[in-house]
Amino acid sequence: MADDATNRVLIAGLAMARALHRRGMPGLVLERRADVAEAGLAINLPGNAVQALAQLGLADALGQVGSPIRRREYRTERGRLLFAVDEGAFWGARAHPRCVRRGDLLRLLADGLPADAVRRGRAVAAIRQSAGDVSVELADGAVERGGWLVGADGVHSAVRRSVFGEAAPSPALLGQASWRFMARNPGLDAWTLWAGAGGLFLLIPVDRDEVYGWASVGGAGAAGRDLAAVRRVFDRFPQPVQDTLDRILLRPDAIHHSPLEEVRVAHWTEGRVLLMGDAAHATAPVWAQGAALALEDALVLAGLLAGGGDRDGIGPAYEALRRPRVGHIQAMTDRLSRTATMPDWARNLLLPLIGPRSYRATYAKLRVPVSA
Ligand SMILES: Cc1cc2nc3c(=O)[nH]c(=O)nc-3n(C[C@H](O)[C@H](O)[C@H](O)COP(=O)(O)OP(=O)(O)OC[C@H]3O[C@@H](n4cnc5c(N)ncnc54)[C@H](O)[C@@H]3O)c2cc1C
């Protein structure tokens, strides 16, 4: 089984570099990993992520990769449809949700950046601030200086730990861990989630041949890595789940184990140091908002940094603009996560009633693009 670190991949950092570059501002991305790690997985981009990518100049390029998600289906562990959402109608043509390979998303974000905008194999080890600048000491002893430091270094952010004090991520309400993989498409043309007492199983078509899959298991021992135990949880699930599991278990190395961790901290800014993406607000993937929020953070922050004006006001303005949207996602994530822990009969009774309303209540606010 592959470790989750192999698919933590710099979406926020590249988005920030791109947003700055589009405004004619210089930026340097320091990335700990020496290689380009994208692990071959995919990512589900809800309409607000698609909007943000368009604001980053990538609307046409995005249309060339992955595939649009027209419909979501929520089903029981026996396959009965609880409710469906017409995503195409909800988001409209300009923000049609898409599922794309992570490698494609990273390539798009990096496209057109100056060759030296990203330095790989450079781990941030220590940070010092003075009145007008920030200096960063790297693990190899080198020092980089700049006007601002944006901590886009993920859920276990060294920047957050160093500048904002120890704020360890907490386990998500949804569960302790999940597994991600790519598999042959068993004939699905919709985003499909099967929910049962022991676990959740989601398949999203990336194209006609391939699906991106995600499974989570509740209860004691769920953080473990025993794939045979995970397999047993889904014994009663319908054929597409059984076939997919049997096939992927032949290649356990291609299954990615991901702890489900969240970051909820009181401050994202301290002087000239700012946090964004998972470093600021990692959230369980219930509404698939990780990439979307990171892209939006980048747009808002680049707008403020390029705007001139009071330098001391940038951090507070960034938090004031972003906290309401992020707080909304966190609240809606908790709300839906609670239904995952309900007994089957209660969830199956409740979801057809509250499911469509939750979808609308969560995403309606996000249809308004961020102003950048
Ligand atoms: C199971 C699961 C499923 C998900 N599904 C989706 C989905 O479908 N849609 C979606 O939008 N989101 C999804 N997410 C969330 C999404 O993957 C993240 O929100 C997104 O990757 C955040 O990007 P980031 O750039 O902020 O952090 P990361 O992807 O973690 O990137 C941080 C980068 O910082 C680097 N780094 C770390 N420490 C240092 C250091 N000291 N110095 C220099 N570099 C450093 C790392 O190597 C890494 O490249 C999912 C998450 C999980 C766990």
Q: Is the pLDDT of residue 7 over 50?
A: no
Q: Is residue 131 part of a domain?
A: no
> What is the average pLDDT across 7-28?
90
Q: Could you report the per-residue pLDDT of 296-335, keeping only the tens digit for each?
A: 999 999 999 999 878 899 999 999 999 999 999 999 999 9
Where residue 192 falls (left for φ over 0; alpha for ψ -120 to 50; beta otherwise) is: beta
* CB of 31 shorter than 6 A to ligand 1: yes
The continuous run of DSSP H or E covering 202 comes out as: strand 199-205
Range with lowest mean pLDDT among 49-58, 117-126, 337-346? 337-346
Q: Could you report the per-residue pLDDT of 333-366, keeping only the tens digit for each?
A: 999 888 877 888 999 999 999 999 999 999 999 9
Percent of the chain with pLDDT over 90: 77
Nearest CA to ligand 1 atom 2: 285
* CB of 48 shorter than 6 A to ligand 1: no
> What is the average pLDDT across 63-80?
96
Evaluate the CA torsion angle 52, 53, 57, 62 in order and state its sign.
negative
Q: Is residue 219 part of a domain?
A: no
Q: Is the pLDDT of residue 6 over 70?
A: no
Beta-bridge partner residues of 101: 42
Sorting pLDDT into bands at 50, 70 and 90, what band is 39?
A: low
Domain that holds residue 80: 2-120+151-172+261-367
Q: Is the pLDDT of residue 5 over 90?
A: no
Q: What distance in Å separates the CA atoms of residue 204 and residue 206, rounded to the nearest whole number?
A: 6
Q: Is residue 207 part of a domain?
A: no
Q: Is residue 189 part of a domain?
A: no
Q: Is residue 230 part of a domain?
A: no
Q: Is residue 289 part of a domain?
A: yes
* CB of 159 shorter than 6 A to ligand 1: no
> What is the average pLDDT across 37-65?
93
Q: Is the pLDDT of residue 149 over 70?
A: yes
CATH code, 37: 3.50.50.60
Q: Is the pLDDT of residue 97 over 50?
A: yes
Ligand 1 mean position to 285 CA, how many Å? 11
Ligand 1 mean position to 10 CA, how many Å? 6
Q: Which is nearest to 268 in space by CA: 239, 236, 231, 294? A: 294
Q: Is the pLDDT of residue 8 over 80?
A: no
Q: Please say whether the beta carbons of 255 and 179 come within 8 A.
A: yes
Percent of the chain with pLDDT over 70: 95
Q: Is residue 57 part of a domain?
A: yes
Tell me how many helices (H) and strands (E) the chain has.
12, 21
Q: Which is nearest to 116 in space by CA: 56, 27, 23? A: 27
User: What is the rounded average pLDDT for all residues in the chain?
Assistant: 91
Which position has the token pair 């403020």? Answer: 304
Q: Radius of gyration (Cα) for the chain, nearest Å? A: 20
Sorting pLDDT into bands at 50, 70 and 90, what band is 240?
A: very high
Q: Is residue 134 part of a domain?
A: no
Q: Which is nearest to 233 in space by CA: 248, 254, 243, 218? A: 218
Nearest CA to ligand 1 atom 15: 290
Q: Is the pLDDT of residue 222 over 90?
A: no
Q: Please say whether the beta carbons of 265 and 167 come within 8 A.
A: yes
Range with lowest mean pLDDT among 32-41, 125-134, 283-292, 309-318? 32-41
Q: Is the pLDDT of residue 4 over 50?
A: no
> What is the average pLDDT across 7-24?
89
Residue 213, token pair as written in the block: 């899959």
Q: Which is nearest to 192 in space by CA: 315, 10, 44? A: 44
Residue 327, token pair as written in the block: 């707080």
Ligand 1 mean position to 4 CA, how many Å? 10
What is the tally of structural domains in the chain?
A: 1
CA distances from 211 to 140, 217, 234, 256, 327 (A): 40, 20, 18, 15, 31
